Amino acid sequence: MKKSTLYISALLVVALASCRKDAPLPAPTSPDFYVHALVDGVEESVIAGDGGYYMYTDYQFPEDKAPIIVGDLRSSVEGTSSWKFEFTNNSTDEEIDLESVLALGDKSLASSDIVQNKSILNIKPKASFGAETSDMPSYYWRYQHGASIPLINPVFTFDSTNYSGKQPIVTIGSRFYNRYDIETSRCVDILHPEDWAAFEVEVVQPGVYIFYISPYFSSQVNQVYWDINGDAAGQGDTLFYRHPTGVVGSKFFVTAGFRHTNGARTCESRDVVILNSDLVPPNMDFQYKVESGMTIDSLQLNKVNITYTTPSGTVYSTSMHSNPGTVSIQEVTDYVNDAEGRPTVKLIVSGSFLLQDATGDELRIDNAEFVIAVATSDP
């Protein structure tokens, strides 16, 4: 089949496609994949390699959505039950890393992004001054698109009840009114509030600059996207830029958008003033700290859906239940590739939860342990 452009660190979602491969069948005496659970109080045990059961992996990339990676423990024999696990991410971003789709740990099975009704995150910025800012500037903070406030140490609050459904990025900006009138802003990723990065400026000559990610952050960032005055200017750790006029005293606005290795998305923007020298342009910077206490899973974009099909063909799903519960997801490192050599992740999914069918009938799963495989790329 024609392969769309995909990469593990940032999966570019471009077209509707689906590729399926069977994971290799294990020896019956040493099962790689299985299900043990109480299904409405009745013990059920399914082992790949017995009774026609096998592990079926699937990788889908729907148009304008994050990839869906699937593990399906099914049988070639009619009249048998099957279990299907789907992992995806509700973010509308074009670039979704694998960890954002297949997140490990305790995960809610709820279909809503908001797991908790309300979580509060307090962001406390603190300013610092660079060159040429010693002339007692006045300054104003702004949060998102709100009004400017002239506080020295403000506190901004993020409330998950106002969460829009996309990966939540909030912007803190500060304008320092001195002879250069400098503005700086930062994007804070609420899913990864402790992560941030910064860029530096090297002056080649007045009006000619090299912008680059600070070396301290280079190992924490996968990609950097540069904008000049709101227009895309390039990608990569370094950007060479020549101002079209180079008029001394004029300024332009530079933005570096950072994609972190853990999936965080942050940015830094700042005014650059053209000076009649090779001095580094004056700069105002600020840091921020985030108060502890927020439950990150209250903004869970990565989704897990479990589907159980009975021997008679009735389909139950956690996505149909209003309060299905949670499961624990762990990775097992003793399994690498499927039968075709494609990268595959082996998982243990455990817990007790609820499913529902189309008529509203509820099915209870207790003390479940699932060992499954899912494909992590298109073959």
Sheet architecture: strand order including 199-205: 199-205, 208-213, 238-242
334 phi and psi angles, rounded to 5 deg: -95, 15
Sketch out the chain's domains with CATH numbers.
11-113+300-375 (no CATH), 120-295 (2.60.40.10)
Nearest to 325, CA basis, from 365, 270, 268, 358: 365
pLDDT at 25 over 70: no
Positive or negative: CA dihedral 65, 69, 73, 76 = positive
What's the pLDDT band for 308 if we cut at 50, 70, 90? very high
Q: What is the pLDDT of residue 17?
A: 36
**pLDDT tens digit sequence for 172-221:** 777 766 667 778 888 888 777 778 898 999 999 888 999 999 888 988 89
Residue 373 near residue 13, CB atoms below 8 Å: no
Query: What is the predicted pLDDT for the residue at 315?
Result: 95
Q: Which of 225-229, 309-313, 317-321, 355-359 has the least mean pLDDT?
A: 317-321
Interval 133-178: pLDDT, tens: 445 456 677 776 566 677 766 777 766 555 544 555 677 777 766 6
Residues in the chain: 379
Residue-wise pLDDT for 242-285, tens only, equals: 999 988 888 899 999 998 888 788 899 988 988 887 777 777 66
